[in-house]
């Protein structure tokens, strides 16, 4: 059995009133030090859900993809996410700050989603879809930042709430993808066919705008932390 990583004095007693998904999420959104990260994460998660839920039907009616081709593209995206999060992220952080990397990843996400929506061929759409894995660093970066900014006594509840954000956005997403796909299905030969991906790009752009609005303050905090570390 693995030992408890937190000291006993750093843990908080369990409260059913406080420790539920909605109560914890409401509590996190009230905290100014992490509100921007939670909101950015929610918008980005919703954009991801729209993109993933739309892909199979979208490529089938627009490009005539078979189940094999759909499966291969999803495998390519999943493999790319694993490489970015498991190998590239740690190395990139040696050369670029978390704030700048988050901004870059969100910007790439917006561009690649628009690329999917405007792609004239299935090959280009598939390439943009798989390259969307380059934005996969956003989730671990934001989750890690939220964790570092919270007291040790609420680490478990905080990360549980962050995980619930993904589930909540995944549950909400079909309410958006269904009408978008219904409209797109009648416009398979014009740019409006990419409506679900334009919607995902708009959400990703909102996430970028929210995070960019706070980036100057966040970069200043990073510089102070670096200076304090060097002084020590």
Residue 170 and residue 62: Cα distance in Å, rounded? 24
Question: How large is the greatest C-alpha to C-alpha distance in the chain, in angstroms?
Answer: 63
* pTM for the whole structure: 0.84
Nearest Cα residue to 48 out of 219, 169, 179: 169
What pLDDT digit, counting tens, does each position of 3-60 carry?
Answer: 655 555 545 555 555 555 566 667 667 777 788 888 899 999 999 999 999 999 999 9
Check whether domain 31-231 has CATH 2.60.40.730, yes or no: no
What pLDDT digit, counting tens, does each position of 129-166 carry?
Answer: 999 999 999 999 988 888 777 766 666 767 777 788 88
Residue 212 and residue 8: Cα distance in Å, rounded? 38
Residue spans of the domains in the chain: they are 31-231
Helices (H), the chain: 21-29, 35-63, 67-83, 89-92, 98-118, 122-131, 138-148, 155-172, 174-184, 195-231
């Amino acid at each position: 059995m693995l030992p408890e990583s937190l000291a006993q004095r750093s843990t908080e007693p369990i409260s059913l009133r406080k420790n539920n998904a909605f109560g914890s999420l409401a509590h996190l959104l009230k905290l100014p030090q992490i509100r921007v990260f939670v909101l950015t994460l929610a918008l980005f998660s919703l954009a991801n859900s729209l993109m993933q839920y739309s892909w199979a039907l979208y490529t089938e009616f627009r490009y005539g993809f078979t189940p094999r081709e759909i499966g291969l593209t999803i495998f390519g995206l999943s493999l790319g996410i694993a490489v970015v999060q498991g190998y590239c992220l740690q190395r990139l952080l040696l050369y670029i700050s978390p704030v700048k990397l988050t901004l870059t990843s969100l910007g790439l996400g917006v561009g690649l989603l628009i690329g999917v929506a405007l792609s004239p061929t299935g090959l280009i759409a598939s390439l943009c879809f798989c390259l969307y894995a380059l934005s996969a660093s956003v989730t671990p970066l934001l989750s890690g930042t939220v964790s570092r900014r919270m007291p040790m006594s609420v680490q478990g509840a905080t990360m549980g709430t962050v995980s619930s954000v993904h589930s909540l956005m995944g549950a909400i997403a079909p309410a958006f993808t269904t009408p978008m796909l219904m409209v797109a299905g009648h416009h398979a030969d014009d740019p409006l066919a990419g409506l679900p991906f334009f919607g995902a790009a708009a959400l990703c752009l909102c996430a970028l705008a929210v995070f960019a609005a706070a980036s100057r303050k966040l970069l200043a905090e990073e510089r102070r932390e670096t200076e304090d570390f060097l002084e020590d």
